[in-house]
Amino acid sequence: MNKLKITIIATTFAIFLAACGQAPPPNSVTGTNDNKPNAAATPTATAPTPVDETVLARNLYTTNCMTCHRDSGKGGKTTVDGKMIDPDDITTAKQKAKPDEKIFGYISEGFPDDGMPAFKDKLTEAEIRSIIKHVRSLQQ
């Protein structure tokens, strides 16, 4: 009788160990938090999707440019820091014809006499290029 009990317990234990050693099915979610997908279902951060780049570009524009150039890019008279300025409409054919490098210089170096601040110490090169992509989308 003892041999039977030991055999049943040993078999059950062996099955349990074998089951615990297997990887979960590819689409299963492990753990108790239903809001967190498993690693297989989580996208990697190494390759941002175009949507992420678009959102980043729009957010950078909103934070750094929209006060003067407006959401539409049309610009127009506005007061910033107590100074009346008249930012350019960056959606015109003339602005659209300018190469990205020229626009990069405008954003990086600014036009202090016209109220456009330099962003070279505030934004990275990649962030400025992202803003340029958003400006190009406004020019469509």
Could you read off the pLDDT of 28-84 as tens digits, one per residue?
555 555 555 555 555 556 666 666 889 999 999 999 999 999 999 999 999 988 989
**What share of the chain has pLDDT > 90, as a percent?**
55
Residue span of the structural domain in which 59 resides: 53-138
Domain count, the chain: 1
pLDDT at res. 75: 94
Residue 122 in any domain: the answer is: yes
Residue 95 neighbours by CB under 8 Å, 6+ apart: 88, 89, 103, 139
Residue 30 in any domain: the answer is: no
> The pTM is what?
0.62
Mean pLDDT over the full length of the chain: 82
Residue 46 in any domain: the answer is: no
Pick from 18-22, 58-62, 82-86, 127-131: least confident: 18-22
Burial of 8 (0-12, 13-18, 19+ CB in 10 A): exposed
**What share of the chain has pLDDT > 70, as a percent?**
66
In the predicted model, what is the mean pLDDT of residues 94-122? Answer: 95
Residue 36 neighbours by CB under 8 Å, 6+ apart: 29
